[in-house]
Structure 1
Amino acid sequence: MAASGGQLILDLPGFGPEVPDLASYTWIVANISGGKDSQAMLAELVRHATAAGVLDRIVVVHADLGDAEWEGTRELAAEHAAFYGLRFEVVARTGTGLIERIEERGMFPDAENRWCTSDFKRGPVRRLLTRLVREAEAAGHRGQVRILNVMGLRADESPARRRLLPFSHDGSWTCPCGDCTRRRRLTEKAEREGRPVPKHAKTGHGASNTLRHVDTWLPVHEWSTGDVWSAVGASGLRVHPAYTAGMPRLSCVFCVLASRSALVRAAQLQPELAARYAALEERIGHRFKNDLSVAQIIAEAEASPEVTAVACWQG
C-alpha cells in the first residue's frame, strides 16, 4: 500500500484509481502540449490502453499556438507520440494566430475570459472529433461514436482545476444520453415555470451531440508535481529545454495566468517576443494584466539576475 499524489493505492485487484472502460470507446483522444503533465498523462494512458488491448484507438492531438508558444513545442509533441507509435494530429485555429487575434480583439484574455483556450484549443480539437466521427462512419460504425477525451490537467495547478472531476461526461443540449435528456427536461420545466435554471440541470456546451458521445478523463488529476516528474523520468521521453531554463510549466511563453516571476524569466529567455508583446500592448491600449504590463515585465527582466528555477506558476 502506497500513497501517490494524494491517492491511496492498494495492491489488490479492483482497487486503486478508477480507469474508464477504454474498450468501450471507438476513439481515445490524447491532448498533449509537449509539457511534463501531458507527458505523464500519455505514459499513463498508454499503460492502461496496452493492458486493455486498445492502443490502436489512441489519437494524439496537439493544438498549435504558433508564435505564442515555445520554439520546438510542436516538434516535441510529435516526438512524444512517435515514441509510442501513435497517430499524431496537429490542430490550429483557422485564420490569424494568437498574437494577431489579441490585436483584432483589442484585448488580452484573462482568468475570467479565457477565449484563448476556446478559440485555439477547444474549438480546433472539436473539429478533429468531427473528423474522427466521419472516419468511424466511413468504416461502418452506426449510431453515436463514443470518444474519450484525455487531458493532463492536475488539481495542484489551480483552484479551478482542483474542482474538476477526474472523469466526467462532456454533455450538451443536443446529446441524447440519459443524463443530458434529464437535464434538458429539468431546464425546460424551470423555464416554463419562470424559475432560474438550477446549476445541476444545465447540460453545458460540451463536445457531445447526436453523432458523438464524449467523456473526459484526467488520469493524472490527483498527482503531485513530484509524481509527474517521476513518471516522465521513467518514460524516457525528452523534456522541453524551457524546463531546464527555469520555467515551471510549458504553456504560452507569456501566459496571462502565469506568476510575475515566471513572466520575468520568460522575458529573459525570449526578449524579442517580449518586445513584440509590449508593442502590441501599446498599440491596442490594453494591459497584459490589470496590475502588470509587459513593459514592466521587460524592465524587471533586464534589472533582475537570471534564475535557474521559478518557484511557482501562479501567485
Structure 2
Amino acid sequence: MTDDVEKLISTNAPVAIGVSGGKDSQAAALATLRHLDAVGHTGPRILIHADLGSVEWDDSLRICEELSDYLNCELVVVRRRAGDLMDRWERRWFLSKSRYETLSSVTLIPCWSTPSMRFCTSELKTHVIMAELKRRFKGQKILNVIGVRRDESAARARMSIADPDPAAQVWTWRPIIERTTDEVFDMIDSSGLQPHPAYRIHGMTRVSCRFCIMSSIADLTAASAVEESHDIYRRMVQLEIDSSFAFQGARWLGDIAPHLLTVEMRGDHWLAKSRAARRVEIEKHITKPMLYVKGWPTRMLTDEEANILCDVRNRVTELYGFKSDRLTVDSIHQRYADLLDEKAQKEAA
C-alpha cells in the first residue's frame, strides 16, 4: 500500500485487476478485493484479461472465469484486433523479409519478441487493456492492479509498489509485490480455488504463453509434453524454419521436442540452423555506421562500405531465396541518398 493508492481507494476510483490465469494474478485479485471490501470501497471493479489467442493455455480463460464467479466481479476479455501473438510473430517475419528486400533495413530483423523487446506484453496486453480502461472509465483516475512480485526477477525486484502514468490517468498498483511463491499458492489454496493446472499437473513454474520467450528449458520441455501444445509447437517451429531465427536467441524451440515434428520438418529445421549460422557470419562484415538508426541511414556510405553491403545483400538474398532489389553498388548508393533526402524532408516538415 502507498498513500496515493489509499487516497484513490478512498475516493472510490475504478479498480481494474489484470488476470492471466496465472497464480500471481489470482493472488493479486484475491488480496485486492479482500482489501477493498474491508475499507468500504464502493467504486467500479473489474477483472480484465488480455487473450493472447493460440499461444495461450486452454485453461487460462476458465481459471479467470472461475475467479470472477468466486469474487462476484465482472470479467472483461480484450483482444488485439489485428490478430493474436502468433499472428504478430508471423507478420513480423513477413515485414522483416519485405524490408530487407527493398533495403528498408540493412540486416534481417528477428521475428520473435525478446526479454528486452517485449512487444508481446506491450502490444497484446498493456495497450489493449489500457485502451479498454480509458474507454470504460473515461475522464476518471483508474487503479490498475497487476500481480508482479519482487522475487520473480532482478528487474521486478527494483519495481515500486505503485507508480502513475499521468498521461493516461492510471496508477499501476502491485499489491502482492512482497509475497513469496509459497505465500501466493497458500492464498489460492485457502480460498478454495485451484491454481492453473499447468503448475501442479504439467509441472510448469510460470504460466503465460505455453511457450514463452522467458521460459526455462524445463518449462519448455514440460509444455511440449502436453497434447494441447503440439499444434502451436509445430507452428512456432515452422516459423523458426522460415525465418532461421531461434525462438530464444541461441535456444531453438525445435530442439526441445523434435519427436513432435515430421521427418521433413526435422530436416528443414537443421537447414534453418545452418542458414542462421551462415547469415551471422556474412553479416559480420557490416559495421555499425552502415546501419540505420530508427529506420534511417545516418550518412552516405563510402564506396568500400557499399561494396561490402552489396556482397552481403547478394549472399543473404541467395541464402534465403529472396527477391531483393538494390543489389549493385550504384543502386545501394541511390537508396541511401533517397532515404536521407526523405528523412530531411520529414524533419523540415
Residue among 124, 127, 130 paired with 2:128:
124
* 1:157 paired to 2:159: no
Q: Which has the larger radius of gyration?
A: 2
Instruction: Specify the alignment match of 1:291 in structure 2.
Output: 250
Q: Partners of 2:112 and 2:42 in 1: how far apart? A: 39
Q: Partners of 1:54 and 1:104 in 2: how far apart? A: 44
Cα distance, 1:72 vs structure 2:
2.2
**1:143-182 Cα deviation digits (max 9, x unpaired):** x4110000001111111111110111123xxx4xxxxxxx
Within-5 A mapping of 1:29-108: 29-54=16-41, 57-106=44-93, 107-108=111-112
**SS of 1:30 mapped into structure 2:** strand
Instruction: Specify the alignment match of 2:199 in structure 1.
Output: 243
Instruction: Specify the alignment match of 1:282 in structure 2.
Output: 241
- For normalisation by structure 2, the TM-score amounts to 0.65
Cα distance, 1:254 vs structure 2:
0.5
Cα distance, 1:48 vs structure 2:
0.7
Unaligned stretches of 5+ residues in structure 2: 94-110, 262-349
Whether the aligned pair in 2 keeps the contact of 1:25 and 1:146 (CA below 8 Å) is no
Q: Partners of 2:131 and 2:58 in 1: how far apart? A: 25
Instruction: Specify the alignment match of 1:221 in structure 2.
Output: 177
Q: Partners of 1:246 and 1:217 in 2: how far apart? A: 29
Larger mean CA deviation between 99-108 and 265-274 belongs to 265-274
**1:213-271 Cα deviation digits (max 9, x unpaired):** 21111011011101111111111122221112201111100001111111111111223
Q: Partners of 1:230 and 1:300 in 2: how far apart? A: 37
The one-letter amino acid paired with 1:115 is F
The one-letter amino acid paired with 1:163 is R
Instruction: Specify the alignment match of 1:146 in structure 2.
Output: 141
Percent identity, please: 32
Residue among 203, 216, 224 paired with 1:259:
216
Structure 1 residues 56 and 34, CA, compared in 2 at 3 Å: closer, same or farther? farther
- For normalisation by structure 1, the TM-score amounts to 0.72
Cα distance, 1:301 vs structure 2:
8.8
Q: Partners of 1:158 and 1:24 in 2: how far apart? A: 33
* 1:27 paired to 2:14: yes
Within-5 A mapping of 1:9-24: 18=2, 20-21=5-6, 22-24=9-11
Cα distance, 1:132 vs structure 2:
1.8
Cα distance, 1:75 vs structure 2:
2.2
Count of aligned residue pairs for this structure pair: 238
Instruction: Specify the alignment match of 1:14 in structure 2.
Output: none
**SS of 1:59 mapped into structure 2:** strand
Instruction: Specify the alignment match of 1:110 in structure 2.
Output: 114
Cα distance, 1:280 vs structure 2:
1.7
Unaligned stretches of 5+ residues in structure 1: 1-16, 135-143, 176-207, 303-315
Cα distance, 1:56 vs structure 2:
5.2
The one-letter amino acid paired with 2:217 is R
Whether the aligned pair in 1 keeps the contact of 2:48 and 2:129 (CA below 8 Å) is yes
**1:262-305 Cα deviation digits (max 9, x unpaired):** 11111112233212211121122221012111111113999xxx
Cα distance, 1:74 vs structure 2:
1.3
Instruction: Specify the alignment match of 1:190 in structure 2.
Output: none
Whether the aligned pair in 2 keeps the contact of 1:24 and 1:146 (CA below 8 Å) is no
Cα distance, 1:64 vs structure 2:
0.4
